[in-house]
Amino acid sequence: MTPTANARALQLIDDELSGVIGHLASERADRIAALAAELVGARRVFVLGLGRSGLALEMTGMRLMHLGLTVHIVGDATTPAIGVGDVLLAASGSGTTGGIVRAAENAVSAGARVVAITANADSPLAAASVATVVVPAAGKLDRSGAASAQYAGSLFEQAVVVIGDAVFHTLWLASGATADDLWPRHANLE
């Protein structure tokens, strides 16, 4: 591994992610705003993703908690039942992951609303959602290199982090809270 190879990899990631961000800013900003509005209006927010998408989305859950929203990570032992007034925030590149689709269907049956980040506009997850952000990224089984030269769903997962940070930043600015106001919600048991 050489510095030149690392520089090329960083440039590739930068180029691909910049392309996705540019597309989202120009073509999907209204969808991101709709997703953000659902979150800020929720009684509670439940966050669900699997694998790397789940890890990326948990970062958003943490930031939403810093804003003062009541947030639960689906699968944690202390996560309560979802219900009316709640929102399930889900991420799945394919939008067909069985556990995520079932959870979305269960959330809707319980009277909750679903918002999603996916790369598949025609997926069951998108169909269950009231606000869907579609990311123009390769699915994890796409080996064509057309949407991304990165491995598996890397570009999608990177976009999930960026979308989450954009939603947080927008909601934070709208709240009028200062960084000092949010700080007491940061973990202090490290």
| Mean pLDDT for the chain overall | 95
Provide mean pLDDT across the span 66-77: 97
Q: Using the 8-state DSSP alphabet, how is residue 75 labeled?
A: T
- Give this prediction's pTM: 0.95
**Which of the two residues, 141 and 102, has the higher pLDDT score?**
102
Domain ranges of the chain: 3-139+147-181
Report the distance separating Cα 161 and Cα 52, nearest Å.
10
Predicted local confidence at residue 144, as pLDDT = 83
88-111 pLDDT per residue, tens = 999 999 999 999 999 999 999 999
Fold of 3-139+147-181: Rossmann fold (3.40.50)
Active site residues: 157
